Structure 1
Amino acid sequence: MEDIIVPVAVVGMLFIGLLGMILHYVTKWKSQTGISRQDEALLDELHDLARRLDQRIETVERIVAADNPNWKDSRIADLSEQRRQLR
């Protein structure tokens, strides 16, 4: 009888401990579903930076296209060749 009590108690404690640990981390995970204010500010800053860089690239492309009218066509051909090489 005593040989059965100890293993049953250990197995019971393992299940209770495991269940408690799972519930602890599930509630912790659910409480952190949103992004922090710092992360949101960083994303806004990166979005603004990307928009400014895109505007700069468009400006450079307009300047180069004005100097060399065939530039866009050769650039597009180069890009499609690079894509073919990647496949």
Structure 2
Amino acid sequence: MEKRDLYLQKIDAQIDEYSAKLKVMRSKATVVHVDMKLEYLNQVEKLEEKRDDLKKKYKEISKASESSWEDIKEGTENAWNDLKESLDKAIKHFK
């Protein structure tokens, strides 16, 4: 149980970090040039969807039995990595 709890704590911390970054990005949408505003907001919305997907995976793991949570872990890792890479690219792109 301890291994899963640590894993969940790690994911939870990352979700909080990503949510904070997305909040900053969304607030910056008010100051970007009009031509880029729609693209910027669309990108933020896509990232928020990916974050929400990671939250769903988090809930699945937290509710899974001790013997089955490892099976869900791979999908969670994929969602986590996808969100991280997409967020990093978006931050670099919109600087």
Range class of TM-score, shorter chain: 0.3 to 0.5
Q: Which structure has the larger Rg?
A: 1
Bigger relative contact order, structure 1 or 2 (CA pairs below 8 A, ≥6 apart): 2
- Give the TM-score taking structure 2 as reference length: 0.34
Superposition TM-score, scaled by structure 1 size: 0.37
